Structure 1
Amino acid sequence: MNDQAENLRRRLEARQNQSMARTIAVLSGKGGVGKSNFSLNFSIALSKRGKRVLIFDMDIGMGNIDILIGQHSTYSIIDFFENDCSLKDIITEGPGNISIITGGTGLTNLFSLDEESYTRFNEEFSSLLANYDYILFDMGAGITRDSMKFMLCVDELFVITTPEPTSIMDAYSAMKYIHSVNKEIPLFLVCNRVFTSKDGKETIKRLQNALVKFLGLETVVLGYLPDDRTVSRAVTKQIPFILFDSKANVSKAIADIASRYENHSFEGELTLQKSDFLRNMKRYFLGK
């Protein structure tokens, strides 16, 4: 009996000591800025660095990760809620050795968890947190009340913008809303489709200055992605651009962003804290 108790204690300690995945929500203020393409290729860039990565497509009814890779998933999150599949059952192996869970209309269930559903999701998702290094949630464009609750559960938020004035304004509005609810969650900025590095730096600087001036909000710049024809060619072929042409400027840029993020090579001082994703879910979705 003592041996059994000792073995159980060791298993529990081993589980507690397992490194848990960092959770990242990728969002944009408006659609059409390349958010899903960023999520997909950033994930593959991390995978190329030896990391275990899972993408959770959170764009309700308009998820396009499977379209970008030309790969139809047999299962989606709706099978977890309606067909009693486990989360592991609905994971699809994607290109570049990443894992994918597709969303679709079933995500409306995820945003309206009751206590029984939360308990089941908690148990299933705990194992995913232990089995991956990073879990990325590719959010839908804009912010809803429900998606906001979900975004407040993660460790960090990545905001994707472009140099277009409407994109910058929408990104500002999204971050203003997030900051009004939670002033502690780290916000990272990526500027996509820049013609020159100067163009990207000026775009981010204008956005950062407005955030500091009007909100007192500091953000972290992850980097810039060039407006590269490789992206449209890769999308047409339904191949992630980092795999389509690893030597293209945009592929080198996404690899640099992944390296900078993983190595915490940010301008200024920033200490990344781990949040408790599942405890946050219980707080925001069940009010406990």
Structure 2
Amino acid sequence: MKDQAENLRRRLEARQNQKMARTIAVLSGKGGVGKSNFSLNFSIALSKMGKRVLLFDMDIGMGNIDILIGGHSPYNIIDFFENGRSLEEIITAGSGDISIITGGTGLMNLFSLDEGKYARFNEEFSSLMANYDYILFDMGAGITHDSMKFLLCVDELVVITTPEPTSITDAYSAMKYIHSIKKEIPCFLVCNRVFTNKEGKDTIKRLQNAFKKFLDLETVGLGYLPDDRIVSKAVSEQMPFILFDSEADVSKAMVDIATRYANHSFGEKLTLPKSHFLRNMKRYFLGK
């Protein structure tokens, strides 16, 4: 009994000393802003820098990561909860040396964890977090009651907008809602489909000023992506644009964004807290 307790203590200490993956939720206030395309290509850009990346498609019923890479995952999260598969088993190798978990309607199980399901998810996800540098969650457009709880668990948020006024307003509304419940989540901004550098800079600055003025929230502008015809061509070919044409302006801009993020070269002062993803899940999903 004493030996078992000692072994358990050593395992817990080893896990606590392991470097755990950062969990990042990519979201937008509305659909159609290129959020999933950003998540996929951002993941690949990080992978090209030698980072270990897992991309989790969290868009219930509307997930399109498979479509963007022209593949089909044999398993999804429902196989974990209902068919006895491990998380390792449902991971698919994706383009650009990233790993992918697809969600689909099985995500409803993730949003309704009881203690038994949480214990199993906690144990297996802890192992995953030790195997990756970043775990990205490509969230569905907008915010539901269930997805809101999940957003409160992650370490960081990346909010995608475009220069369109409706997109800016929806991005602000989404962050206002999140901020009203939890104020300390680091937030990064990316502007997609800009026609000029000035338009991209102005859009991000406008959002940052609004967050600061009305919410007293400091946000970090990661950068902007041009409205490049290569993107639609790559989508038609079901290939990530960063692999379809690495020399395209949009691909170079994505590499710049990923480099800024990975190197923490934000310009702004930002303290990234230690990851407490699983502890947060226990708090927000089990109320403990």
User: Same fold judged by TM-score > 0.5?
Assistant: yes
Asked if the contact 1:76/1:101 (under 8 Å) is kept, the reply is: yes
2:118 and 2:7 map into 1 onto residues whose CA distance is 29
Of the structure 1 ranges 263-272 and 44-53, higher mean CA displacement relative to structure 2 is found in 263-272
Q: CA deviation at 1:217?
A: 1.5
Residue by residue over 1:41-90, the C-alpha shift from the partner in whole angstroms, topping out at 9 and shown as x without a partner, is 00000000001000010000000000000000000001111101111110
Indicate whether 1:33 and 2:33 are aligned: yes
Q: Partner residue of 1:48?
A: 48
- The residue number in structure 2 matching 1:121 is 121
- In structure 2, distance between residues paired with 1:284 and 1:155: 14
Task: Please give the per-residue CA displacement for 1:159-204, whole angstroms capped at 9, x wherever unaligned.
Answer: 0000001100000000100110111001110000000110001111
Query: Partner letter of residue 42 of structure 1?
Result: F
After superposition, residues 1-288 of structure 1 pair within 5 angstroms as 12-288=12-288
Q: Distance in 1 between matches of 2:108 and 2:5?
A: 42
Please give the alpha-carbon distance, in whole angstroms, between the structure 2 residues aligned to 1:170 and 1:113. Answer: 29
Cα distance in 2, alignment partners of residues 214 and 161 from structure 1: 19
**Structure 1 residues 109-160: Cα deviation after superposition (integer angstroms, max 9, x where no partner):** 1101111111111111010001100000000000011101101111100000
Distance 1:86 1:267, change over 3 A: same
Would you say the 8 A contact 1:77–1:90 is kept in 2?
Answer: yes
Q: 4+ residue stretches of structure 1 with deviation over 6 A? A: 1-9
Q: In structure 2, what residue type is equivalent to 1:145?
A: H
Contact 2:93 2:99 in 1 (8 A): yes
CA shift at 1:218, angstroms?
1.4
Gaps of 5+ in 1: none
SS in 2 for 1:54: strand
In structure 2, give the amino acid aligned to 1:245: D
SS at match of 2:260: helix
Letter in 1 for 2:90: I
> Any idea what SS the aligned residue of 2:218 has?
coil
CA distance in 1 between counterparts of 2:260 and 2:191 reads 15
The letter of the residue matching 1:253 is: A
Change (3 A) 1:4 1:123: closer
After TM superposition, the score normalised by the length of structure 1 is: 0.96
Q: How far apart, in 1, do the equivalents of 2:285 and 2:237 lie? A: 40
- Indicate if the aligned counterparts of 2:21 and 2:275 stay in contact, CA closer than 8 A: no
Amino acid corresponding to residue 77 of structure 1 in structure 2: I
Structure 1 residue 274 displacement after superposition: 1.6
Contact 1:28 1:35 in 2 (8 A): yes
Q: Would you say the 8 A contact 1:58–1:104 is kept in 2?
A: yes
Query: How far is 1:7 from its partner?
Result: 7.3
Per the alignment, do residues 218 and 237 of structure 1 end up closer, same or farther by CA in structure 2, a change over 3 Å counting? same
> Given that residues 79 and 85 in structure 2 are in contact (C-alpha distance below 8 angstroms), is that contact kept between their aligned partners in structure 1?
yes
The verdict on how the C-alpha distance between 1:59 and 1:212 changes in structure 2, with shifts beyond 3 A counting, is same
Work out the CA distance in 2 between the residues paired with 1:9 and 1:139.
Answer: 36
**1:11, distance to aligned residue in structure 2 (A):** 5.2
What is the CA-CA distance between 1:216 and the residue it aligns to? 1.4
Task: Specify every segment of 5 or more residues in structure 2 that has no aligned partner in the other structure, as ranges.
Answer: none
**TM score, norm. by length of structure 2:** 0.96
Aligned CA distance change for structure 1 residues 244 and 209 (closer, same or farther; 3 Å): same
AA aligned to 2:91 is I
User: For residues 81 and 3 of structure 1, what CA distance do their matches in structure 2 show?
Assistant: 33
State how far apart, in whole Å, the 1-side matches of 2:60 and 2:5 are.
46
Aligned-residue sequence identity (percent) comes to 83
